[in-house]
């Protein structure tokens, strides 16, 4: 909340705490990218609030079961203003993961079941500087099918494999920028037993650093619910020409 008499510009970011800042029994979050702010920049009028959703994604790995993690949300004023100094506030966020894995498909009788096809895509000899229509090269669109009888909202986004917990196989490296891969729809609703087709476009800047490379992109398909999120991932393997 802006308690001052003048509007402020505010930025939020996720910080990994130092060992001296930890609450007893907690450890620093392994990767700040696990915590995603729906919005991180605000213009706040006097007596108004900056509000954002916080989305937490823990990689699908058993080593993260039964853990307690700490992370900070750092809010600070930015840009010119009435004050000669910047003001900041650290909000501590404590996370605790369950001891056991949870199978939602069994727990809710398939209510949230959905499928994505294909689960792996390979593109070869892409030229930096040219727009790649994945369908024209791979021959298929990405397909999302709602296998339940209930309507659901889905979001598609390119993310770093490291963030997704997707292992990068030998010879490939993490994508340089997930935003190089775009989609013709990013969020949509599917009624029960319906499916959607999604076009994908990949463009590398025309720079020498992108030539002769082998990259892995992780395509995240997320089902949105009020109490939790469900993710599926598609691996996109890419090689560029020398």
Average pLDDT on 221-237 reads 88
**Do the Cβ atoms of 41 and 11 come closer than 8 Å?**
yes
Q: What is the per-residue pLDDT for 104?
A: 67
Of 206, 205, 200, the closest CA to residue 236 belongs to 200
pLDDT of residue 39 exceeding 90: no
| Chain length of the chain | 242
Of 162, 132, 145, 128, the closest CA to residue 197 belongs to 145
Q: Dihedral of the CA atoms 11, 17, 22, 28 (nearest 10)? A: 120
Percent of the chain at pLDDT > 70 equals 97
How many angstroms separate the Cα of 60 from the Cα of each of 101, 147, 161, 172?
9, 22, 12, 21
Q: What is the per-residue pLDDT for 175?
A: 94
Average pLDDT on 186-208 reads 96
CA within 13 Å, CB half, 77: 17
pLDDT band with cut points at 50, 70 and 90 for residue 80? low
Name all domains of the chain by residue range, CATH numbers in brackets: 8-96 (2.60.40), 104-240 (2.60.40.10)
Distance in angstroms (rounded) separating the CA atoms of residues 128 and 241: 8
Which conformational region is residue 212 in: left (phi greater than 0), alpha (psi within -120 to 50 degrees), or beta?
Answer: left
Per-residue pLDDT tens over the stretch 84-133: 678 899 999 999 999 988 776 677 777 888 999 999 999 999 999 999 99
Helices then strands, counting H and E runs in the chain, come out as 3, 19
Q: What is the mean pLDDT of the chain?
A: 91
Q: Is the sign of the CA dihedral 188, 134, 234, 238 positive or negative? A: negative
Percent of the chain at pLDDT > 90 equals 70
Whole-structure pTM value: 0.73
pLDDT of residue 81 exceeding 60: no
pLDDT of residue 83 exceeding 90: no
Average pLDDT on 165-177 reads 89
Work out whether strand 88-96 and strand 68-77 pair parallel, antiparallel, or are unpaired. Answer: antiparallel
Q: What is the per-residue pLDDT for 105?
A: 63
Of 69, 65, 76, 66, the closest CA to residue 34 belongs to 69
Q: Which helix (H) or strand (E) holds 89?
A: strand 88-96
98 exposed, middle or buried (CB, 10 Å; 0-12, 13-18, 19+)? exposed
Per-residue pLDDT tens over the stretch 204-217: 999 999 999 999 99
Any residues with CB less than 8 A from the CB of 75 and at least 6 apart, and which?
Answer: 10, 11, 12, 50, 88, 89, 90, 91
């Amino acid at each position: 909340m802006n308690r001052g008499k003048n509007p402020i510009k505010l930025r939020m970011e996720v910080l990994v705490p130092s060992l001296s800042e930890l609450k007893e029994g907690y450890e620093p979050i392994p990767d700040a990218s696990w915590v995603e702010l729906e919005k991180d920049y605000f213009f706040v009028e006097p007596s108004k609030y900056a509000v954002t959703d916080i989305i937490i994604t823990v990689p699908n790995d058993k080593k993260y079961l039964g853990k307690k993690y700490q992370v900070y949300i750092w809010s600070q004023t930015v840009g010119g203003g009435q004050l000669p100094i910047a003001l900041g506030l650290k909000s501590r966020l404590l996370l605790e993961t369950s001891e056991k894995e949870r199978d939602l498909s069994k727990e809710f009788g398939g209510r949230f079941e959905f499928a994505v096809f294909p689960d792996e895509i390979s593109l070869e000899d892409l030229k930096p500087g040219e727009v790649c229509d994945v369908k024209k090269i791979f021959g298929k669109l990405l397909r999302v099918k709602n296998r339940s009888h209930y309507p659901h909202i889905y979001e598609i986004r390119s993310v770093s494999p490291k963030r997704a917990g997707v292992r990068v196989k030998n010879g490939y490296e993490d994508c340089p920028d997930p935003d190089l891969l775009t989609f013709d729809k990013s969020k949509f609703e599917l009624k029960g037993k319906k499916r959607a087709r999604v076009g994908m476009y990949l463009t590398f800047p025309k720079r020498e650093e992108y030539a002769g490379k082998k990259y892995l992109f992780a395509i995240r398909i997320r089902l949105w619910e009020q109490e939790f999120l469900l993710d599926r991932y598609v691996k996109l393997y890419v090689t560029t020409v020398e």
